Structure 1
Amino acid sequence: MQDILVNWTPQETRVAVVENGAVQELHIERSLERGLVGNIYLGRVARVLPGMQSAFIDIGLERAAFLHVADLHLNATGPRGEPLAGASPQPIEKLVFEGQTLTVQVIKDPIGTKGARLSSQVSIAGRMLVYLPQDNHIGISQKIGSHELREQLRQRMQALVGKPEEGGGGGFILRTNAEEATDPELADDITYLRKTWTTIRELSFTVPPGTLLHQDLSLAERVLRDLTNDDTQSIRIDSRQQYEHLLAFGKAFTPTAVSKLELYRGERPIFDLYNIDTEVQKALARRVDLKSGGYLIIDQTEALTTVDVNTGGFVGARNFDDTIFKTNLEAAGAIARQLRLRNLGGIIIVDFIDMSRDEHQAAVLAEFRKQLARDRTKITVSGFTQLGLVEMTRKRTRESLAHMLCEPCPVCEGRGQVKTARSVCYDILREILREARQFDPKEFRVIASPAVVEMLLDEESQHLAGLSDFIGKPISLSAENQMTPEQYDIVLL
């Protein structure tokens, strides 16, 4: 069974999913950093650019947004947005005109000086479905299993959606997590999405251009839509205002989750119940200790994430093979949890401790797959390679915890290490020699961190004096507390 804790403040919402007293997932959303993707606006065409086959649309933001002809639903396209056979696309100047109002959706956030990119082909994401109100097509995610299963799901959806003349308009795409959904769950999602679109349509007739018609759900609302399931025991939230909001939202859109909502009235902060803030700090660390005495080393890079398993101080088993086997078994569960908690995505390489027995390898891999099966994010595991590594991928759904909460260190610039004071001293001596060959100052003054200056005055004083004699110029030193270990400046006087 799982409990969901929601810590809400005006600037930030944090959600923790707890199972058996241990934090399994952490979701964070900051009000100032919410993106625009998915938002639906009533826009006004500010300018049509035939040469670029685009239009600038005023949607009430600081900069006008950008709509390309390929993203216009009015153009001749099929149910999936592909050009119809034999149909030539209409130029944008024949489809829109200045001053026209359009219902548009943001498909790319504004970046730098560029405005947001728009589409008039609206789609609304639900828990298991994506609703396409302007189409009548039923699509299935390419990641859903066999052809037979896909056809079976399509037939079930067609029965649930109904015929357009019976009020069953609109198309749907089944998302990956709809693979094992029941008919009542799919029906709930269909009702929710159609109700949302009806609200958007009605609002568009009563508000001026530049108005936000629909915003993708907040994190607290997505708890009810995406995170709650049959195993959820309670959803506790520490804000009365948000509790009442979620209660109203749940009654309208996710009635099965309403009975699990609770207002937390405790004196202690809600995240202190399971030491969640401590878990967050641990999830930002490179090393993860295991109960047995072993540990994991997790390194996240641009290309992939590596996880290294070590026995550490664990010597409890009868022989070395059993020690390795038990450490790897414990690590399998810990790694699966850390992937969820840190939200690590992309390519992941796990280096379990080498096992000499094939049955141990098979048992560890089976346990690893079993633990990963609890993840709501799509995962593929390739098994052990010839080098004894486990290769896997985990779908990227949002930024990792480290990228959301941290930034590269200004001292080491994300390398995780800095040059030694002696290395910086030798850099300085080489730079002085280079400058002396080009310029003829009266004196060289070195400004550096206190540790570097101290080394130049002490252990490296002989080399500094030798360089001064060689170039025939005095070299003075000045310590600057604000400088990082690698920073220095050479002033010509």
Structure 2
Amino acid sequence: MSEEILINVTPRETRVAVIENGMLQELHIERGWRRGVVGNIYKGRVQRVMPGMQAAFVEVGLERAAFLHANDVIRPVPTDVSDAASDVVVTQPNASIVELLRDGQDVVVQVVKDPIGSKGARLTTQVSIPSRYMVLLPQSAVVGVSARIEDEDERARLKQLVSELSAQHGGHGYIVRTNAEGQPAEAIAEDMAYLARVWNVVARRGREAEPRSIIYEDLSLPQRAIRDLIRRDVDKVKVDSAETFAQLQAFVAKYMPPLAEKLELYTGDRPIFDMFGVEDEIGRALDKQVPLKSGGYLVIDQTEAMTTIDVNTGSFVGQRNLEETVFRTNLEAAQAVARQLRLRNLGGIIIIDFIDMLDPEHRRQVLRTLEKALTRDHAKTTVYDFSPLGLVEMTRKRTVESLERQLSEPCPECGGRGSIKTTETVTYEIFREITRAVRQFEAARLLVIASPKVVARITEEESVAVAELEEFLGKSIQFQADEQYLQEQFDVVLL
């Protein structure tokens, strides 16, 4: 598999695209005025403890207070009553929030989910700090290995190596990342030493900093892309900014020298995203309908509660029989769904309505295809079997806004409904409002201001109805078109 990472930098926006076999698979965006805060560590102050919600709102210096649930709060518990010095830090899922926090208390917290919509950021007190090969868990002593490292001998080697090295750096816990597979002990040791230095700074700032201040900020988007997205099959990382390229060269030279040869400064005449067709893919990623090569298509609807994906055969008629046509469409759709989830960064609950299949083996193969296609997804996914209604339910971890919510806003005309009232509906609303206004207030005549389409309909197709209404009310009614009015907007003015 061929894979490239493209980094496009402009003064107020940075975008990172992951290209696999010539197709855009992921897009990450960071804007100067709205940089994500996931991974940042703050010294917060508890604003209010909410016993009924088993949670607390914590001020960390963001626009809105952040949310901290009791299950995400940890506290020291002695392993031996006679030896309080041997404390370990554990979560207490059954503890009441009032036992864990109090109003006005200072607490070190980390953001695990960006503010989304009207909701504030989601917090945890269980801090984790990522690096190239590991994630440091300073309040734990557990060593875990990524499930994507499948070789049992390699898993055992890494776990033993990290456990031994951990004893030399405070006995902290670590999660060994996929990138660590095959790395020598020296590289792992350097990574752990770097994490130890970072944690010492964070711990000191946590003690000394003022409440509502940041004490650790995650790397910039280009540096995070280098740290998190580069895998063995990544051929090149192309950057279109000389300044960012120089920064990444210094970053790579310091933390991951073997990757230096993968960095490349893009100097082409055409914009880098145009050259690789990324801009067109971004435009298509905002459409509800996704065409399939077979002639079928997906319809993707994102709502506040969940995302639904409907699979349709469209113009695909197949060559054998209906069941075979449906099976082939669903197989293609399963791969397309996995790509769209990554590309659009859709998270939370996802319901996929595949076309009904009678053969249980076909269902099994479609589900297996979906699961296999999701293995390259960086976000955690959980897929469940077909429900009695033939639906596939799954979840995908959401930490930032979806691509649509980052790049779009609700339509001012329909308010995000996806449809607007017809001119006929608005016309009869106007007639009712005229009647209501005349009964409530005294006026010699009335002026109705509305959109040109609505006024055209009233004066042309509803002229007889207007004459009847004037006679019924005993009032003169005038209509004025205004280009500034949306189709559903109107005003009835008493003169």
TM-score, reference length from structure 1? 0.79
8 Å contact kept, 1:71–1:118: no
Change (3 A) 1:111 1:28: closer
Cα distance between partner residues in 1 of 2:6 and 2:390: 39
Q: How many residues align?
A: 471
Q: 1:131 aligns with which of 136, 152, 161?
A: 136
8 Å contact kept, 1:40–1:103: no
Task: Check if 1:19 corresponds to 2:23.
Answer: no
The amino acid across from 1:373 in the alignment is: T
**Equivalence for 1:161:** 165
Q: Secondary structure at the match of 2:253?
A: helix
**Equivalence for 1:291:** 293
8 Å contact kept, 1:75–1:90: no
**Equivalence for 1:99:** none
Change (3 A) 1:430 1:17: same
Alignment of 1:406-417 (within 5 A): 406-417=408-419
**Equivalence for 1:220:** 222
Alignment of 1:36-47 (within 5 A): 36=37, 38-39=39-40
Change (3 A) 1:454 1:216: same
Alignment of 1:60-459 (within 5 A): 78-80=88-90, 107=111, 123-126=128-131, 129-133=134-138, 135=139, 137-138=141-142, 156=160, 159-163=163-167, 167-169=168-170, 171-174=172-175, 184=184, 187=189, 189-198=191-200, 214-459=216-461
Percent identical across equivalent pairs?
Answer: 47
Q: Secondary structure at the match of 1:441?
A: coil
Q: Secondary structure at the match of 2:470?
A: helix
8 Å contact kept, 1:131–1:170: no
Deviations 1:316-356 (A, max 9, x none): 42333332222222212111111110011111111122223
- Report the CA distance between 1:198 and its aligned residue: 4.9
8 Å contact kept, 2:73–2:125: yes
Cα distance between partner residues in 1 of 2:414 and 2:17: 32
Cα distance between partner residues in 2 of 1:126 and 1:169: 17
Runs of 5+ unmatched residues, structure 2? 49-55, 79-86
The amino acid across from 1:251 in the alignment is: A
Cα distance between partner residues in 2 of 1:241 and 1:430: 63
- Report the CA distance between 1:210 and its aligned residue: 10
Change (3 A) 1:82 1:386: closer
**Equivalence for 2:31:** 30
Which piece of structure 1 moves more, 397-406 or 211-220?
211-220
Cα distance between partner residues in 2 of 1:173 and 1:435: 70
**Equivalence for 2:53:** none
Q: Secondary structure at the match of 1:259?
A: helix
The amino acid across from 2:383 in the alignment is: V
Deviations 1:134-180 (A, max 9, x none): x46336599999xx99x9799637624332xxx421522437x5699
- Report the CA distance between 1:132 and its aligned residue: 4.3
The amino acid across from 1:247 in the alignment is: Q
Runs of 5+ unmatched residues, structure 1? 97-101
Deviations 1:427-454 (A, max 9, x none): 0111111222222211121111011111
The amino acid across from 1:137 in the alignment is: A
8 Å contact kept, 2:88–2:140: no
Deviations 1:61-112 (A, max 9, x none): 9999999xx98989997413669x9xx999999x99xxxxx99666498999
Deviations 1:211-263 (A, max 9, x none): 96642111101111111111111111111111111111122223343331111
Change (3 A) 1:386 1:477: same
Change (3 A) 1:483 1:131: same
Cα distance between partner residues in 2 of 1:447 and 1:312: 43
TM-score, reference length from structure 2? 0.79
Q: Secondary structure at the match of 1:246?
A: helix
The amino acid across from 1:377 in the alignment is: A
- Report the CA distance between 1:125 and its aligned residue: 3.1
- Report the CA distance between 1:281 and its aligned residue: 0.3
Which piece of structure 1 moves more, 348-357 or 423-432?
348-357
**Superposition CA RMSD, Å:** 4.7
Q: Secondary structure at the match of 2:169?
A: coil
Q: Secondary structure at the match of 1:33?
A: coil
